[in-house]
Chains A and B, each alone.
Chain A
Amino acid sequence: MSQASEREGLSAETGRAILDLAAEVGGVAMLAGRLLRRLAPPRLDGPELARNLHRMGVKSLPIVGVTALFTGGIMVIQAGVLIRRFGAEGLLGWGAGFATLREVGPILIALMFSGRVGANNTAELGTMTVTEQIAALETLAIDPLSYLILPRCIAMVVMLFMLTVYGDVLALAGSALMGQALLGVSVATFFNGFLETIRVWDLATGLIKSVLYGVIIALSSCHFGLTVTGGAPGVGRAVNTSVVASATGIFVTDYFSTYLLG
């Protein structure tokens, strides 16, 4: 982002902001294109992929677990107001389960994942960029995109999908427990209501969305990491921009995918 040294007119600032935005979106699209070209006959580093799968996925289990459990509990508290008003205990499984599987679970897990893995990825790539390690790779005739970037992107997409499955399960467990503790709705009643009303498609939409979120987090975190300038403060700023861009992208995608998937 360019720094306006002196005060400019509103139109100039707006124009600059729009141009900056267009440049970033274009950069992400270019990165996506170049990564896709490397997928056609897959050219990527296998061990690097395995290592990224482990540290991005397995090591996120605790934070995703805590988020999911708490989220499930919160959904029950919010649904509890309506349940008490209508006196319909059987609907608790429907209310909490539906919201968790379709919207809240995938979104919150994606936001946490973007905070932990996406931000960290930007920080790492940014550090590599400012210390010229990426340039060194190119000098050694190693393609940084297939060696460094593509394994990370694939790992993020795969792992966010799997973490969403894991998170959904834990969120439902959290809902059932909270329903028992706070509303006195037994776990059996909860899951009966859940199984009667929730269709497989509800679960599937959430999981499809999680793949889309994974793509967004992967692309934006890699793009902002690779375009860092200006030392340690630059890395901090890039991480900030990357998480903001991921969050915006997640919500915009959520809107359109909700419309399309129904």
Chain B
Amino acid sequence: MAPPVAPATPPDDALDGDAERPRPRGLAADTGQLLIEGVRAFRGLFDVALRTVYWSLKGRREKGVVLEQAFEIGNKSVFFLTVTQGFIGMILVFQSGLQARRVVPDLTMLGATFLELLVRDLAATLASMMLATRVGAGIAAEIGSMVVTEQVDALRMCGVDPVDWLVVPRFLASVVMTGVLIFYAGAIAYFAGGATAWAVFDVQPQTYLNARLLDIGDVSIGLAKCVAYGAAIPIVSGWCGLSARGGSEGVGIATTQAVVFSSLAVIILNLVISGVGFVLFPV
């Protein structure tokens, strides 16, 4: 028999548990609480996702709101992505070149393999991890501060669904801009890698620029990832922002959770899409 479940305590947020020492409880109570909170959180997320999709199809938006968010999400991420993706492209080619030299002597396929890997996985996933950090934190910080300053309650009083007003424009902008940014980031990584291959391993550009290994499977997996990540990041971080509680501390916690959960969403979606793609498009 499991011991009776402890009475509901306030939800344990990310890094607390040091304000006062938690009373030791049974394992069953802990597990149960974790489960209940998990289910509740998942239902909240699902609710936000459903309403986002519903309002995207049905709602009407003021002119320019989506464009404004697209600027915020897209243009302002360009510098960040250029730096991180440029470096990651150089690192990946450097590492894989070193390794490949240990096993096979010639590096003629380096560019083609790297391009395939970028299209299949790395361009979309790495850029989205970066966007989950920058865009996700931004969305949660913005919506979270609106929640704690009761602006969201004011929206509800006016009969406006905050998901429609706040999350949907970011969702639409993110779906478009994430796709665009992933193309851009992939190109940056590819050419930075090409420069490294030329400088370090003496691989000529005409050898490096080789798309022979690309096939329809790679491209469709890559595109599916673009759309999935672009949709997941604003929904997850919008949900985190809307569940902010308390003052500036609450905003901080919501922002933290947005970064963690949207990165996690990217990783989980990556595994799912890669796995399905691997089965659907056998090599």
Q: Which residues of B contact A56 (CB under 8 A)?
A: 15
Q: Is B88 at the interface (CB under 8 A from chain A)?
A: yes
Contact A120 B256 (CB under 8 A): yes
Measured in the bound complex, the distance between the Cα atoms of B120 and A89 in whole Å is 21
B283 touches A81 (CB 8 A): yes
Shortest CB distance A46–B (Å): 15
Range for the number of chain B residues in contact with chain A: 35 or more
Q: Which residues of B contact A217 (CB under 8 A)?
A: none
Chain A residues contacting B18 (CB-CB under 8 Å) are 51, 55
Complex Cα distance, B98 from A84, in Å, reads 22
Contacts of A236 in B (CB 8 A): 137, 140-142, 144-145, 251-252, 255
A112 in contact with B260 given A74-B271, A78-B274, A124-B252 (CB within 8 Å): yes
Distance A98 CA – B130 CA, assembled complex (angstroms): 23
Q: In whole angstroms, what is the CA distance A259 to B94 when docked?
A: 8
User: Main secondary structure on chain A at its contact with chain B?
Assistant: helix
Contact, CB under 8 Å: B87 / A123: no
Asked if B178 CB lies within 8 Å of chain A CBs, one says no
Docked-complex contact A103 and B249, CB < 8 angstroms? no
Contacting residues, chain B, for A259 (C-beta < 8 A): 94
Closest to B113 in A: A82
Which of A70, A73, A84, A251 makes the CB contact (< 8 A) with B283? A84
Contact A247 B130 (CB under 8 A): yes
Contact-residue size bin, chain A (C-beta under 8 Å from the other chain): 35 or more
In the bound complex, residues from chain A placing their C-beta under 8 Å from that of B145 are 232-233, 236
Q: Does B133 contact A (CB under 8 A)?
A: yes
- Chain B interfacial positions (CB closer than 8 Å to A): 14-15, 17-18, 80, 83-84, 87-88, 90-92, 94-95, 98-99, 103, 113, 116-117, 120-121, 125, 129-130, 133-134, 137-138, 140-142, 144-145, 148-149, 247-249, 251-253, 255-256, 259-260, 263-264, 267-268, 270-271, 274-275, 278, 282-283
